[in-house]
């Protein structure tokens, strides 16, 4: 009788019945996930199963290089050049304060060639136009200065800048025809200049 009363009392009060806990199926423990191993190529690590080979860094052969302050700019800002900017109906030109033929070409022409690396006004204008003016009036003063011009030319080409390269090529064309024997004098230096030009020719830059 006692058991029956307990059963009846439980049926009348279902809320008081003990709740059953639902058991979840046991989950498998996560296995160890190996991390990818970044390694250099042609190494022992590169042969491992989880290895990811890092590619070679960009060589940067065709990347434009930043310019550095040139000697031309320093001389110009100090007022050491006998030049001034002159405007006329055709545009800007250089007003020379001395006769160009009387300039010391060993001193001034390499400095103006150094200015080929400049890309901002008025430096690039004075360097470019100054070179053309000096080549036009230099005559037999140009040939002895050729060895001093090679390094500035290479520096300008090594900037990897389209504008600078085009200006430098036009200067080279003018240089070759500026005086007798100049083209022949440049032949020993072509090996230093042509590889740089060929790089950009192959990249359709020129």
pLDDT of residue 186: 83
* pLDDT, tens only, 112-127: 999 999 988 889 999 9
- DSSP secondary structure code for residue 91 in this structure: E
d(CA 159, CA 65): 5
pLDDT of residue 21: 54
> Any idea which of 59-63, 125-129, 161-165, 198-202 has the lowest mean pLDDT?
59-63
Residue 138, SS3 per DSSP: helix
Average pLDDT over residues 81-103: 87
Closest to 118 in 3D by CA, of 173, 165, 73, 65:
73
User: Are 21 and 36 in contact, with CB atoms under 8 Å apart?
Assistant: no
Tell me the backbone φ, ψ of residue 63, rounded to 5 degrees: -80, 135
d(CA 105, CA 50): 65
User: Are 143 and 185 in contact, with CB atoms under 8 Å apart?
Assistant: yes
Q: Mean pLDDT for the chain? A: 76
pLDDT of residue 147: 92
For residue 93, give Cα distances in angstroms to 3, 59, 88, 194.
121, 40, 8, 31
Angle of helix 105-114 relative to helix 123-138, nearest 10 degrees, comes to: 140
pLDDT of residue 88: 73
User: Are 115 and 127 in contact, with CB atoms under 8 Å apart?
Assistant: yes
> Any idea which of 15-19, 101-105, 168-172, 188-192 has the lowest mean pLDDT?
15-19
């Amino acid at each position: 009788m006692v058991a029956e009363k307990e059963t009846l009392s439980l049926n009348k009060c279902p809320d008081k019945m003990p709740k059953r806990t639902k058991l979840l199926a046991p989950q498998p423990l996560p296995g160890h996930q190996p991390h990818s191993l970044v390694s250099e190529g042609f190494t022992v690590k590169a042969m491992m199963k989880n290895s990811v080979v890092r590619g070679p860094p960009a060589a940067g052969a065709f990347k434009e290089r930043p310019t550095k302050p040139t000697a031309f700019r320093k001389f110009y800002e100090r007022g050491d050049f006998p030049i001034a900017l002159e405007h006329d109906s055709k545009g800007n030109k250089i007003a020379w304060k001395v006769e160009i033929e009387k300039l010391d070409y060993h001193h001034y022409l390499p400095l103006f060639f150094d200015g080929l690396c400049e890309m901002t006004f008025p430096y690039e204008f004075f360097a470019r136009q100054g070179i053309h003016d000096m080549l036009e009036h230099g005559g037999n003063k140009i040939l002895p200065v050729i060895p001093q011009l090679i390094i500035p030319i290479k520096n300008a080409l090594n900037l990897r800048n389209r504008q600078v390269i085009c200006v430098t090529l036009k200067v080279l064309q003018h240089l070759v025809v500026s005086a007798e024997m100049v083209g022949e004098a440049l032949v020993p230096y072509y090996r230093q200049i042509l590889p740089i030009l060929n790089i950009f020719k192959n990249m359709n830059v020129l």
